A and B are shown apart, each in its own frame.
Chain A
Amino acid sequence: MTRLPRSARRAAGMTLAIRGLLASAALLGLASCSGGAIGQNTPGGNQPNFVGGSYSSTYYPPGSRPAAPRVSGTTLTGARFSLAAQRGSLVVLNFWGSWCAPCRREAPDLAALASYFKAAPVTFIGDNVRDSPASALAFERTFGIGYPSINDPGEQVALAFHGAVPPAAIPTTLLIDRTGHIAGRVVGEASYRGLRAMIAKVLAGQS
């Protein structure tokens, strides 16, 4: 006959536990806010997208390649560019910004790869995000980038890839095969050797 108090105690305890849970949830919220002083109202850093160490490289074998979206845009120098018009050649699409440190680090490699594959059916195209044309063109002068870039300050090209293989960070490099399908993705700083090997693999696989 002394059981009600016990279950009542249990109920009261539960309420306490819930209250505690809510309190600790609030604590969690606080904790996650205090990381960066200006991180909450404003971007804590312009490169939260690229996190050192989150490099990943994915190769899609023929048959499991998602179709690339039909994107087009205006290049930094004012020319039109359409991805669909590149059918028949392998497209290396690099998302970059002049402010982005890993992009600056990989830029010489990309420039070298573009000249390495000059004779092959490979088209290099950049997609310049969150940048201004003046700064982007200065970047291209600095690193001797010979291929064009789409002027895409509002990330619309990246958005178009939403359903297929979305670029998860800046920089991201996508390989699009001759038939307009995505054959590879490198998230983070691409290396000369790694990217060259992947381009060669895709070229070999489709010929």
Chain B
Amino acid sequence: MTQDLAGRKASSGEAGSAGVAGDGAGAETAADAAPPADLASRRFGAAGWLRWIWRQLTSMRTALVLLFLLALASIPGSVLPQQGIDPAAVSQYYAAHPALAPFLAKLSGFDVFGAPWFAAIYLLLFTSLAGCVLPRAYRLARSSRQPPPRAPRHLGKLPLAAGFQTSGAPDEALAAAAGLLRRRRFRIRAGDDWVSAEKGYLHEVGNLLFHVALLGLLVSVALGGLFGYKANKLLVEGETVANTPVGLDAFHPGRLVSASDLQPFSITLRKFTARYIASGAQRGQPSWFGASIRYNSRYGGPQRGYDLRVNHPLSVDGVQVFLIGHGYAPVFKVTDARGVVQFDQAVPFIPLEQSGLTSAGVVKVPDARPRQLGFAGVFLPTEIVVGGRLVSAFPAPDYPRVSLVSYAGNLGLDSGQPQSVYSLDTSRMRQLAVSPRPLAPGQSIVLPDGLGKLTFTGYRQWASLAITYDPGQLPALVSALTALAGLVLSFLVRRRRIFVRAGPAAGAAHAGPARGDADVAADPRPTAVELGGLTRSDAAGGFETEFAELASAIMQEVRGGAAAAGQSGGEVAAAGAKGE
């Protein structure tokens, strides 16, 4: 019989996918969706309402609304100064808006990200996502363990179908087909006159991994938010910082972090080195940064050395310390009219631009006598004059100069109001009649009226460090990678089903032997084998080929088995265990 595989595509992909959906996830959803009204009226009302609320909360729409609310709620956090980020700005806001500020404070306007309403939105969103992901993960887990469904009665109606005839008995044909499919790692379920086979459960496993990892990601983020912290510290060469709230500049602790939770290490900046490209188009660009530090992991512990570089952080006690910036700290000495030293320290100046590292800063001398003194100005690593203006031509300190404007009066520090070290409140100070001519190291400004003298004694460099502790980082990474792997798996692997039915052929339907196939011709009652194929995803690319290949392999197997059975008997029955 030359009647060969009659593979054809019966229906479009859409119809196909709708047809497969009768099991697993879909059925569950349907059961959930149908009877809420019934439940509310028949059983006690509270449970029904809770059920309804839960379903609303975990719905897509709610999650999106919450997401939008979260974005909306973070706007005041960027518009209003935040206590945890810039307390000085909050104080200034209080001073500028005395009526509005207390009202905003009541609404947590200065601590938006710690506000109860913000937490409420976040927690609801978290619950919503968890409530969506968890049941789905459960359904996926169940569906990945399910045996294949029964074979449909009419395989010809499936998207992919094929058929052939063989001389063996239907049982033998089914056994041979099952054997082949099992060898190809299909999951098999067999009935009286049918065999169902399914493959690609990894699709479900991937899906499951993705969903569980998603939840893991959420938990990791929460973990970091609760137990992690971030801090910044500007450290001048020679200075030491202890990892305590007292020592850090900007400290953003997680919700459940207290001062005693900080890992008790200390870092000393020994030397900061920066190299710059000296010529060409990229002149002034940094070519190398490095900070030579010493650190110990507890009070009085042994000191170790480390070279901190960009993207080469220090890891101590699970805390990462990154080098994130650098600049100059000119050293100033202020003496009173009698020569008593009132101030002698390095003052970090903040770079205004990167090509020449022109840096701005202020010097506050609150204990100068007879008046408090303040200075504001710039540090120029390589000073040149362009059109009467002072600029820095190169970031390296080739010709370092400082230019300062001098003030005397009340710095405002003694009122107890915290202020930034980088801003000078001159509202209660008067500018002194001193020329802001650039000072070279060693040069001084002598102030009028016996106010004293400021000397620019030299400069040091500073490095700024970002200290981050995020216990959720590793779990988040693992979760993200798992989610990605799961997603890829679920994209690459499709679930596909093959159904086989075998039964006596309707004799008249088939033409006689065309090629003189002796065995088949000899058989008085040829068996008709029907094959059907189905894939669960809409995009069936590739499955048609696989199905055709499988169908032809099954045909060969079945016919080969029948031929062998005709000669030596019993062998196929032994090889093809008949499932149940």
Interface residues of A, Cβ cutoff 8 Å to B? 1-7, 9-11, 13-14, 16-18, 20-21, 23-25, 27-28, 30-32, 34-36, 38-52, 69, 95, 98-102, 104-106, 129-132, 134-135, 138-139, 141-142, 153-156, 158-160, 162-163, 166-170, 172, 189
Known: A44-B85, A170-B246. A38 touches B60 (CB 8 A): no
From A51, which residue of chain B is reached at the shortest CB distance?
B87
Task: Give A46 to B548 CA distance when docked, in angstroms.
Answer: 74
Give 19 A-B contacts (CB < 8 Å), ordered by A residue: A10-B60, A14-B133, A21-B67, A30-B78, A35-B89, A41-B232, A41-B324, A42-B232, A43-B234, A43-B249, A45-B421, A47-B88, A49-B246, A49-B251, A52-B91, A106-B416, A130-B246, A135-B365, A158-B247
B367 x A141 contact (CB < 8 A): yes
Q: Is B259 an interface residue (CB 8 A)?
A: yes
Which residue of the partner chain, among B17, B78, B89, B241, contacts A154 with CB atoms under 8 Å? B241
- Please state if A43 and B233 are interface contacts (CB–CB under 8 Å): yes
A43-B234, A47-B88, A51-B87 known; A38 vs B350 contact (CB < 8 Å):
yes
Known A-B contacts: A1-B22, A158-B242. Give 19 more (CB < 8 A). Answer: A13-B60, A14-B129, A14-B214, A36-B81, A43-B249, A44-B422, A48-B86, A52-B91, A98-B366, A102-B418, A131-B345, A134-B343, A134-B345, A135-B365, A155-B240, A155-B266, A159-B242, A159-B243, A166-B245
Q: Which residues of A contact B116 (CB under 8 A)?
A: none
Q: Is B113 in contact with chain A by the CB < 8 A criterion?
A: yes
In the complex, are the beta carbons of A101 and B240 less than 8 A apart? no
Q: B344: CB under 8 A from chain A?
A: yes
The answer to whether the Cβ of B83 comes within 8 Å of any Cβ in the partner chain is: yes
Contact A42 to B87, CB < 8 A, known contacts A4-B20, A98-B367, A135-B343: no
Supposing A14-B60, A130-B247, A155-B242 touch, asked if A35 and B82 sit within 8 A by C-beta, the answer is yes
Of B88, B133, B233, B266, the residue contacting A44 (CB under 8 A) is B88
Question: Would you call B74 and A31 a contact (CB within 8 A)?
Answer: yes
Is B345 a contact of A135 with CB atoms below 8 Å? yes
A167 contact set on B, CB distance < 8 A: 244-246, 259
Decide if B268 is an interface residue (CB 8 Å cutoff): yes
Contact A159 B266 (CB under 8 A): yes
Q: How many residues of B contact A (CB 8 A)?
A: 97
Chain A: CB-nearest residue to B126 = A21
Which residues does chain A contribute within 8 Å of B26, judged by CB atoms?
Answer: 3-4, 6-7
Once the chains bind, are A42 and B234 in contact (CB under 8 Å)? Answer: yes
* A41/B464 in contact, CB under 8 A: yes
B245 touches A49 (CB 8 A): yes
Query: Is there a chain A Cβ closer than 8 Å to B63's Cβ?
Result: yes
- B18 with A2: CB separation less than 8 A: yes
Docked-complex contact B88 and A160, CB < 8 angstroms: no
Q: How far is the CB of B212 from chain A (nearest CB, A)?
A: 13
**Beta-carbon nearest neighbor of A28 in chain B:** B74
Q: Contacts of A50 on B, CB cut-off 8 Å? A: 87, 418
- Given that A7-B25, A21-B67, A156-B299 are known contacts, is A46 also in contact with B421, CB under 8 Å in the complex? yes
Contacts of A135 in B (CB 8 A): 342-345, 365, 367
- Most chain B CB within a 10 A radius of its CB, from A44, A141, A153, A155: A44
Sort A-B residue pairs by CB-CB distance and give the 7 closest, nearest first: A154-B240, A43-B249, A3-B26, A105-B416, A4-B21, A35-B85, A138-B367
Cα(A98)–Cα(B419), bound, Å = 13
The CA of A129 and the CA of B241, in the complex, are separated in Å by: 10
Most chain B CB inside 10 Å of its own CB: which residue of A9, A135, A139: A135
Q: Say yes or no: A36-B416 contact (C-beta < 8 A), given A99-B364, A99-B366, A153-B239.
A: no
Contact call B299/A44, Cβ cutoff below 8 A: no
Q: Out of B17, B251, B342, name the residue touching A4 (CB < 8 Å).
A: B17
Q: A27-B71, A43-B421, A48-B251 are in contact. Are A3 and B244 (CB under 8 A)?
A: no
Question: Which chain B residues border A172 with CB–CB below 8 Å?
Answer: 246
Known contacts A101-B415, A138-B341; decide if A42 and B325 are in contact (CB<8 Å).
yes
Identify the interface centre among B243, B249, B341, B343: most chain A CB within 10 Å of its CB.
B249
Across the interface, name the chain A residue whose C-beta is closest to B343: A135
Q: How far is the CA of A6 from the CA of B136 in the complex (A)?
A: 13
Beyond A14-B132, A135-B367, whether A155 also contacts B413 by CB under 8 A is no
Residues of A within 8 A of B464 (CB): 41-42
* Interchain CB contact under 8 A, B259 and A166: yes
Residue of B nearest to A13 (CB): B60
Verify A52–B242 contact, CB threshold 8 A: no
Known: A14-B132, A102-B418, A155-B241. A25 touches B221 (CB 8 A): yes
Would A162 and B247 be within 8 Å (CB), given that A1-B22, A7-B26 are in contact? no
Say yes or no: is B427 at the interface (Cβ < 8 Å to chain A): no
**Which residue of the partner chain, among B89, B246, B260, contacts A155 with CB atoms under 8 Å?**
B246
* Given A17-B129, A42-B249, A3 and B85 contact (CB-CB distance below 8 Å): no
In the complex with contacts A21-B67, A27-B71, A168-B259, A47-B418 CB distance below 8 A? yes
Q: Is residue B321 contacting chain A, with contact meaning CB distance below 8 A? A: no
Query: B244 near A159 (CB under 8 angstroms)?
Result: yes
Residues of B within 8 A of A158 (CB): 242, 244, 246-247
Q: Which residues of A contact B242 (CB under 8 A)?
A: 154-156, 158-159
Report chain B residues within 8 Å CB of A168. 245-246, 258-259
Min Cβ gap B561→A in Å is 37
1/0 per residue, CB under 8 A from A, across B351-369: the answer is 0000000000000111111
B108 to chain A, nearest CB (A): 13
A27 touches B344 (CB 8 A): no
